[in-house]
Amino acid sequence: MPDIFNGQGPKIIAITNQKGGVGKTTTTINLGAALAEAGKKVLLIDIDPQGNASTGLGVEVVDRKLTTYDLLLEEAPLTEVLQETDVENLWIAPATTDLSSADIELVSNEKRSHLLHDAVRASGVADLKLDYVLIDCPPSLNLLTVNALVASDSVLIPLQSEFFALEGLSQLMLSIREIRETANPNLRIEGVVLTMFDTRNNLSRQVEADARDNLGDLVFETMIPRNVRVSEAPSFALPVLMYDPTSKGSRAYRNLATELTKRNLRG
């Protein structure tokens, strides 16, 4: 399929880590909200069967008439799947637990790894004039995650500031390399963002030092603190930037959005 974006379309970023509980969905929601707050037009695509990004942005299950299951399995147009959120300039393509069976249902499809790639480049999507598409992936390296990697320009990896944090990255890096070699040669690593960082904790500082020693400039300068407001916001179906705009978490995600934007300008 020809790329209708021709280099002028949105930056597509898969936000992934096969380890659960690292702040992946929280980062997707709040980075999207921070980019939108800065005037960027952002689409969040939820391909995690848990649908937490959808819930966290206030989209009730009963209101998810068309979802990313329909996008991938039923060929529903992305323009019909996406919904507005309460955040100006931020849209979401929601998910439900229907996606749990996607791996099995897609096995016999010859284009099974390219369905999301084709969906975000289909006719009509360019008319949305999006600046960023953020893909919230499942906490596993399954076929849904492969679809995200094939569809994306880059990968952003949330890394929890805890013991053994770096150990799980090796398999993800191998998967990214394999996708580069087989399906998406332009895929690159956008960066690694340290999450749940506690400045009072020596372990957090050691994880930061190890990450920067091993990964260098791939690690964002911005670190997301362990912050009660960030943890509370999803229960109110809001990004932390709307729940408590002045909190440390909100400031951190604004800084991350600024750093991401600057990296892309340099790139």
Within a domain: 3: no
Under a CB-based contact definition with an 8 Å cutoff, are residues 241 and 90 in contact?
no
Beta-strand (E) ranges in 3-140? Answer: 11-15, 42-46, 83-84, 90-93, 132-136
pLDDT of residue 171: 83
Within a domain: 134: yes
Count of alpha carbons within 13 angstroms of residue 253, beta-carbon side: 32
Within a domain: 2: no
Residue 267 has pLDDT above 60, yes or no: no
**What distance in Å separates the CA atoms of residue 35 and residue 168, rounded to the nearest whole number?**
28
Say which residues have a Cβ less than 8 Å from residue 234's Cβ, sequence separation at least 6: 26, 29, 52, 55, 56
pLDDT of residue 166: 78
Mean pLDDT along residues 174-187: 94
Residue 12 has pLDDT above 80, yes or no: yes
pLDDT of residue 18: 84
Phi/psi at 158 (5° precision):
-75, 135
Residue 39 has pLDDT above 90, yes or no: yes
3-class DSSP assignment, residue 158: strand
Write the CATH number for 153: 3.40.50.300
Higher per-residue pLDDT: 122 or 166: 122
Tens digit of pLDDT for each residue in 148-174? 999 999 999 999 888 777 777 888 899
Within a domain: 217: yes
- Label residue 1 by pLDDT band (50, 70, 90): very low
pLDDT of residue 108: 85
- Label residue 73 by pLDDT band (50, 70, 90): very high
Domain count, the chain: 1
pTM score of the predicted model? 0.94
Tens digit of pLDDT for each residue in 189-241? 999 999 999 988 888 899 899 899 989 999 999 999 999 999 999 999 999 99
Within a domain: 266: no
Within a domain: 213: yes
Tens digit of pLDDT for each residue in 103-118? 889 888 888 999 999 9
Within a domain: 169: yes
Within a domain: 26: yes
- Name the residue range of residue 75's domain: 11-261
Full DSSP string of 196-212? SB-TT-HHHHHHHHHHH
